[in-house]
Amino acid sequence: MSVLFGEHIDVGFGAVGSVQGPCSAGPTESASTRQGILTLALNDWNGVLVTTNAVILDLMKRHVLWEDEEVERVRYWPDGLALTTSIGRHMVAGSEPDAWLVSQEEWVDDVVIANRDDLIVYGGGGNPVERHGFLLLADGGDVYVNDAVAVAELGRRLAGDINPMAYAELLVEFHPYSSAVRKVLSRPDELRQLIGHEDVPDIEPPRVRQTPAGLTLIFSSTCQYRWPAEGPLLDLMTWTVQVPAGEPAQWETRIVAQRIRLYPRPGFGDSRRGTNVPFVDRMDTFPRGDSAILRDEAARIAEMWGDGNTSRDDA
C-alpha cells in the first residue's frame, strides 16, 4: 500500500545487528550507521535544523514497537523516515510542527508524528488506522502523546504554560485515537457552519476557569466518520478536564448528539441542497417535508446541548 517519494537512504538492519523491541536487550545500530543518520539533520529546503532521523527512530523503538517486534528495514529522507517491522507494520514518521498548536509553546522544540500506512479501514473518517505523536521538549525530554498518563501530567501546564486549545487538540486527537476525523470546536458558530443550518446553537470555545479545587477546562468536539449506505455522519461531544491543585489532569467526555447526517440518505431529500445538511435518523420523520426534518434535527441538537450546558455548569 505504501507509495514513497523523494531521495532516500535504504538501510537493512541485517548487516548491522538486529533492532530489539523497547523491553528487550540486544544490539542496536552501529555508531557509523547512527552518525550517517545524524548527517540528515538539516532540512535541505530551508536550512532549518529539524529533529534527526536517529531521534525519530529511537522514539519509535521506545514507544511504538512491541516487545517482540523488530525493525527490519528503514528508509531515510531529510525530513523523516519510513520503517517496516517484523510483524508487517509499515510506518512513516517525520516532523509536523505546523499541524499542531502545541508546537507554538516555548518549551516544545518539535512535534513528530508517525502514521501506519499499510492498512485501510472502511468506514473511517480519513485518518490513518494507527497514529503516534511525540513532543520533543526544549529541555531534551519527550512526551508520547498516545500515553494517557503522560498527557495527564502535561495537563499540569494548563495553569498558564500551555494554550488550552492546544491541550484540547491533543486530547481530542489521541484519547482515544480513532480513524474518524476528530476536531476541537474553537469558534461559537463552527458547528452551525459545519452542519449548515442556522438553528444549530452556538458552541462555547475552549475555556479554563479557576475552581476552589484547581482548574477546569471545558470544550466541545466533533467526530466525523462513515457507515455503509449512510454516508458521512457526525457526533458532537463535550469535554470536562479537571486539574486538581498539584495533581495531573483528569478528563471525561459526554456525547451530546450522535449520527447527524451530513449528506441525505439516497432516496430522501433534495439532491440540489448543499452537502453539509443534517438528516435525522428517525424513519417516522421522512414522509414530511425537508424543512420540517431540518427544524426537528436542529431542535434536537439544541435541546441536548442545553441539557449538557446545565449539567456542565453544575459540575
pLDDT band at 195 (very low <50, low <70, confident <90, very high): confident
Query: Where is mean pLDDT largest: 45-59, 113-127, 180-194, 195-209?
Result: 180-194
Q: Whose grid coordinates read 531521534?
A: 55
- As to burial, measured by CB atoms within 10 angstroms (0-12 exposed, 13-18 middle, 19+ buried), residue 41 is middle
Q: Model confidence at 95, in pLDDT bands (50, 70, 90)?
A: very high
Name the more confident of 5 and 56. 56
279 has a pLDDT exceeding 50:
no
pLDDT at 299: 65
Phi-psi region of 229 (alpha: psi -120 to 50; beta: other; left: phi over 0): left
What pLDDT does 27 receive?
30
Decide if pLDDT at 172 tops 80.
yes
Mean pLDDT of 270-299: 44
CA dist 244 and 97 (Å) reads 30
| DSSP secondary structure, the chain, as one string | -----S--EEEEGGGT-PBPPTTS------HHHHHHHHGGGB-TTT--B---HHHHHHHHHHHTS-TT--EEEEEEETTEEEEEETTS-EEEEEE-GGG-GGGGSTTEEEEEEEEE-S---TT--SS-S-EEEEEEETTS-EEETT-HHHHHHHGGGGGTTS-HHHHHHHHHHHTT--SSEEEE--STTHHHHHHT-TTSPP-PPPEEEEETTEEEEEEEEEEEEEETTTEEEEEEEEEEEEEETTS--EEEEEEEEEEEESSPPTTSS-TTS-S-----S-GGGTTS-HHHHHHHHHHHHHHHHHHHHHHHHH-
So what's the pLDDT on residue 263?
Answer: 53
* Predicted local distance difference test score (pLDDT) of residue 244: 96
Residue range 81-93: average pLDDT? 96
Average pLDDT for 9-25: 32
pLDDT of residue 184: 96
> CB–CB of 127/154 below 8 Å?
no
Segment of 43-57, 247-261, 288-302 carrying the highest mean pLDDT:
247-261
pLDDT in tens, 127-137: 888 999 999 99
Percent of the chain beyond pLDDT 90? 49
The predicted model gives 263-290 an average pLDDT of 39
Please give the grid coordinates belonging to residue 104.
507554538
For residue 5, the model assigns a pLDDT of: 29
The pLDDT value recorded for residue 228 is 74
Mean pLDDT of all residues in 54-80: 94
Residue 29 scores a pLDDT above 60: no
- Alpha-carbon span 85 to 68, nearest angstrom: 10
Convert the pLDDT of each residue in 215-266 to its tens digit: 999 999 999 988 777 778 889 999 999 999 989 999 999 999 888 877 543 4
**Can you give the pTM of this predicted structure?**
0.71
Select from 179, 164, 40 the least CA-distant residue to 119. Answer: 179
Residue 114 one-letter amino acid? A
